[in-house]
Structure 1
């Protein structure tokens, strides 16, 4: 496999499910990733109302904290609206994704175009109003997009989106990066073990690629072994890749 010069390798770090429901967990994950990268190189994926139980509300302490992070340079992504999948899925492929790739959180996998576009626009409007600056892009919960969400992305005006395999500009269709995202799962012992195995195997592969992506979730903080694994994996990739902002991909 041909190697990419170190000066051209970029590492993109992100904390998912940012919102008042997981405030303490998000703080802990930002501190952990901050051991390896400046805080303005850690993207924050913001959920406007996680599972309909934790609304992001203007004027609250968490809203003030979120604006402070944005003022300090952190990129904010719209990360769905509810993060919960309430759709009825048709087609075997969609059913398998909904059942095996997430625990009922692939919100945008089964949405119609109209529903997806409304949630994208509403989420963007709310987050930008609180942050006082534009959002960086849109990333669907569980990185899952259905046909409706794909079509809506092209009309929502977001310049950056990502899934498990790539980052792209929805307004132009241009691929900005191709790489597998390294992440962890905490909802069962089997998934914990598979996550730990992937975190051992994937960093040596990522070191040859021009870009590497690592995403962490609030649930990771509940398993000490996952936190240790995240720390080690980020440290290993950090040796070959410089922390970067997603906006750098647009500039390139």
Structure 2
């Protein structure tokens, strides 16, 4: 299963390039898009008729659409404890749902889902938090709103029941710095050797990947390796998810 993160008017050209690249490996409908309603509160989908039309066209094409937060910006950063460590080391100020209280998480999820579903004309496939980081408030809000699917770095599950549908690390890349680029290239090469023995493989790409040729080469190598042993599939195929 393959996904494009951070789908937003801000990154339309990069999403186009990634969608074309992924389609060459897995087909034009066998990947998902994770949609941000208003990236860093500076790129709203609302009022952008041209991008809304693109989004609906992608959904009509068969691409699964997940809600991916509201702004993708952590506006309630923790200052101590495990949450502070995650917020500092696992993302660059983008763990939006890591520390949100339930009421605020609920409001953002509810409003985001309504906006995306009104745009694409069908239900979203699920909710995936920015940077795959969830706090207690986010988990409670997902259960209350009845999202069909969610995922983090290590699994895909049903929020309502907690049933785990797939296990294993997601292969992804980082473009923020040379050390992160190098470490993600190493992790992807390791994944190409170790993960073919797992039942379900997840691969996630980001708009920033398009700025680093070495990352694009690694993405191509990774997808080409896995399509030899695994069938490109949709998230909805997991456990008969709707």
Interval containing the TM-score (normalised by the shorter chain):
over 0.9
Q: Which residue of 2 aligns with 1:160?
A: 149
Q: Which residue of 2 aligns with 1:125?
A: 114
1:182 to 168, 171, 177: 171
State the TM-score, normalized to the length of structure 2. Answer: 0.97
- What is the CA-CA distance between 1:159 and the residue it aligns to? 0.9
- What is the CA-CA distance between 1:231 and the residue it aligns to? 0.6
Q: Distance in 2 between matches of 1:130 and 1:73?
A: 15
2:68 to 54, 58, 79: 79
Q: Which residue of 2 aligns with 1:109?
A: 98
Q: Which residue of 2 aligns with 1:27?
A: 16
SS in 2 for 1:176: strand
Unaligned 5+ segments in structure 1 are 1-11
- What is the CA-CA distance between 1:78 and the residue it aligns to? 0.1
Q: Distance in 2 between matches of 1:59 and 1:190?
A: 36
Pairwise CA RMSD of aligned residues?
1.0
Q: Does 1:173 align with 2:162?
A: yes
Aligned residues: 241
CA contact 2:78–2:84 (8 Å) conserved in 1: yes
2:34 to 45, 50, 68: 45
Q: Distance in 2 between matches of 1:20 and 1:193?
A: 29
Higher relative contact order (CA 8 A, sep 6+): 1
Choose 146-155 or 157-166, whichever is displaced more. Answer: 146-155
SS in 1 for 2:5: strand
SS in 1 for 2:41: coil
Q: Distance in 2 between matches of 1:91 and 1:170?
A: 27
- What is the CA-CA distance between 1:114 and the residue it aligns to? 0.5
Choose 161-170 or 33-42, whichever is displaced more. Answer: 33-42
Per-residue CA deviations over 1:18-74 (Å, capped at 9, x if unaligned) read: 010000000000111111111211100000000000000256111001001111111
CA contact 2:158–2:165 (8 Å) conserved in 1: yes
